[in-house]
Amino acid sequence: MNLPSPINLYLAGARGSCPTDTGFDTTMIKKILIANRGEIAVRVIRACREMGITNVAVFSDIDSVAKHVRMADEAYHIGPSPSSESYLVMEKIIEVAKKAGVDAIHPGYGFLSENARFAKMVMDNKLTWIGPPPEAIARMGDKLEARVTAVDSGAPVVPGFKSKIENVEQIIDEVHKVGFPILIKAAAGGGGKGMRIVNNEEELPKALKTAANEARSAFGDDRVYFEKYIPKPHHVEIQILADKFGNMVYLGERECSIQRRHQKVIEEAPSPIITPEIRKKMGEAALKIASACGYVNAGTVEFLVDDDLNFYFLEVNTRLQVEHPVTEMITGIDLVKEQIKIASGEKLSFKQDGIRIHGHAIECRIYAEDPAANFAPSTGTLRSYVEPHGVGVRVDSGVYEGAQIPIFYDPMISKMIGWGATREEAVARTRRALTEYRISGVCTTVNFHLAVMDNENFKKGKINTHFIEEQFPDNVFSSKEEDHVYKAAAVSACLYDFLENSKLKTRVSSDGGRESNWKIAGRRMGVSRTPEK
Ligand code: MV4
């Protein structure tokens, strides 16, 4: 089981090695282990192959024929399906890295990517860690330390407190200075966990207690701090790259306000609200914070932006992010290749004034979720799976037709990125590309994304972190799974027609195929579903 699977031995011989001169010096890094799965593992494999680097996948029981395993030069089994017994087991991954003879480990996002202990373990085993220094990961992972680092660097930070809250008396003067409402946050938190809005002084003692209790049970760390609450902010983040010689650049911003339950759904670059002046200010603030924590490799500095375009530091993500492609599309810079080059000790090959923003890119995260069931994960077999193509369209996916969508991992199956010369063109192209997805067997969020592309506020760039709840309050979207309902109905319709001795005539849908023929046939049988908004 620990040998490369036969399919990969075949592929490696057939097309794995890259004989052409890629311009990358493989003296330091010849072979990389990718400690991840799904679309991000595929993304890193692609970068490796373009650079002439041999790539090694790892897989759990259920992933033995997953797309990343099929594409890799070599693949090693690392344990049972639950990630706690496979993708998260540091010792197993180090063991495979040694057995396979790799030079470096790329963690992708999620899993071990922001685990400072793992980064250190990789380095202690004389392997190259394709990520930031463990000290920077640890420092930014603590949201209170990150806040203090940002304050000391001179970057704008939300008004609030710089240290752990001990009791109400200690903070009450500060609270009145910034004014209600305030937001209590957990030092060990992030991603929205353990936050509490406090509207007045009466609520304060109880809120402090519950926030600390929640933080203790969620993170084993009850430290909390507070910030002024910024209502309906934009979430805008700056992509940075830093080499080992102190060279740093920012690659513009990404607008990530469209999210639900603190999970991003649609991201775009550039942000529709950010001006060149604010971009420069935010970029420079991001680099100050990165310098202050000795940052190296790719990273993201998150900011909250209010309607007056005041921006405030929020968090640093010490990893490659899901939404990195929108930045790649508008800058022409391959972030994964840059990560690998930085880790191998190369200097950045461009300076800030060499970075240009070209056009506009929008990413839709396609999740295997059922919008009709409050976006619960939808698992099963991808009975049909057809991806969009054509001008200005990029699809990064971790699946293929016939693949299983397991219950064990994140339900994101595909990312579709539409590029256009202007935001209007990017929206139209993203919408067009979405109509080309043909997915059955599981429910997906494709139709939700279509509804957003047709939303008047979205089209005008009027979005903030409350967009989904405000624009789609009743949560009703059709999903492609509906086709099954229509198929069943259409089969009945055929039977009915047969019995009536009349032919089922083909009708062509007039709106670019958004409505399937099954649906049209189904409707003839009087099947009606919740209409789209
Ligand atoms: C805030 C905020 C308003 N004011 N901080 C949510 C995730 C975590 N990283 C920080 N978050 C927020 N912090 C202050 N002082 C509003 C949010 C917030 C949010 C931020 C980014 C994207 C989506 C969000 C959804 C709800 C709340």
Do 171 and 226 meet the contact criterion of CB atoms below 8 Å apart? yes
What are the structure tokens assigned to 343, written together? Answer: 């880790």
Residue-level pLDDT at 190: 76
Give the pairing type, strands 128-129 and 104-106: parallel
Nearest-atom number in ligand 1 for the CA of 228 is 15
Residue-level pLDDT at 485: 53
Q: What is the DSSP letter of 388?
A: -
Residue-level pLDDT at 320: 98
Residue-level pLDDT at 6: 42
End-to-end Cα spacing for the chain: 50
Cα–Cα dist 482/498, whole Å: 24
Cα–Cα dist 442/438, whole Å: 11
Residue with tokens 């089994």: 77
Annotation says 431 is catalytic: no
Residue-level pLDDT at 13: 39
Domains detected in the chain: 23-130 (3.40.50.20), 159-228 (3.30.1490.20), 234-366+391-421+457-464 (3.30.470.20), 367-390+422-456+465-533 (no CATH)
Quickly count: other Cβ atoms within 10 Å of residue 381's Cβ: 13
Cα–Cα dist 472/240, whole Å: 33
Pocket test for ligand 1, best of 256, 465, 467, 470 (most atoms within 8 A of CB): 465
Q: What is the DSSP letter of 519?
A: H
Ligand 1 centroid–CA 498 distance in Å is: 58
Ligand 1 centroid–CA 314 distance in Å is: 8
CB-side exposure of 196: number of CA atoms within 13 Å?
Answer: 22
Ligand 1 centroid–CA 466 distance in Å is: 10
Residues in contact with ligand 1 by the CB-under-6-Å rule are 158, 183, 190-192, 227-230, 233, 235, 259, 262, 304, 314-315, 465
Residue with tokens 């397991």: 406
Nearest-atom number in ligand 1 for the CA of 312 is 15
Catalytic residue selected from 196, 319, 365, 429: 319
Residue-level pLDDT at 152: 97
Do 331 and 361 meet the contact criterion of CB atoms below 8 Å apart? no
What does the DSSP assignment read for 490-516? Answer: HHHHHHHHHHTT--------SSTTSS-
Nearest residue to 416 via CA among 364, 456, 338:
364
Q: In angstroms, what is the C-alpha Rg of the chain?
A: 25
Nearest residue to 184 via CA among 240, 130, 225, 154:
225
Strand partners, 253: 238
Residue-level pLDDT at 17: 53
Ligand 1 centroid–CA 222 distance in Å is: 19
DSSP 3-state of 254: strand
Do 184 and 350 meet the contact criterion of CB atoms below 8 Å apart? no
Handedness of CA 315, 320, 322, 324 (dihedral sign): positive
Do 105 and 93 meet the contact criterion of CB atoms below 8 Å apart? yes
Residue with tokens 């969009």: 388
Residue with tokens 């939300």: 158
Cα–Cα dist 503/495, whole Å: 10
Ligand 1 centroid–CA 492 distance in Å is: 50
Q: Kind and range of the H or E element at 55? A: strand 54-60
Nearest residue to 387 via CA among 361, 343, 417:
417
DSSP 3-state of 298: strand
Strand partners, 250: 240
Q: Kind and range of the H or E element at 234? A: strand 234-242
Residue 204: partners with Cβ closer than 8 Å, 6 or more residues away: 168, 172, 175, 198
Pocket test for ligand 1, best of 142, 184, 266, 304 (most atoms within 8 A of CB): 304
The residue nearest atom 17 of ligand 1, judged by CA position, is 192
Q: What is the DSSP letter of 38?
A: H
The pTM for the full model equals: 0.88
Strand partners, 129: 105
261 — alpha (psi -120 to 50), left (phi > 0) or beta? Answer: left
Residue-level pLDDT at 492: 53
Cα–Cα dist 468/265, whole Å: 10
Pocket test for ligand 1, best of 162, 180, 183 (most atoms within 8 A of CB): 183
C-alpha to C-alpha distances, 469 to 183, 463, 466, nearest whole angstrom: 20, 11, 6
- Per-residue pLDDT tens, the chain, 533 aa: give them: 444 444 444 444 345 555 567 899 999 999 999 999 999 999 999 999 999 999 999 999 999 999 999 999 999 999 999 999 999 999 999 999 999 999 999 999 999 999 999 999 999 999 999 999 999 999 999 999 999 999 999 999 999 988 899 999 999 999 999 999 999 999 998 777 789 999 999 999 999 999 999 999 999 999 999 999 999 999 999 999 999 999 999 999 999 999 999 999 999 999 999 999 999 999 999 999 999 999 999 999 999 999 999 999 999 999 999 999 999 999 999 999 999 999 999 999 999 999 999 999 999 999 999 988 889 999 999 999 999 999 999 999 999 999 999 999 999 999 999 999 999 999 999 999 999 999 999 999 999 999 999 999 999 999 999 999 999 987 766 554 455 555 555 455 445 545 554 444 444 444 444 555 556 555 555 554 444 43
Nearest residue to 454 via CA among 524, 375, 493, 512:
512
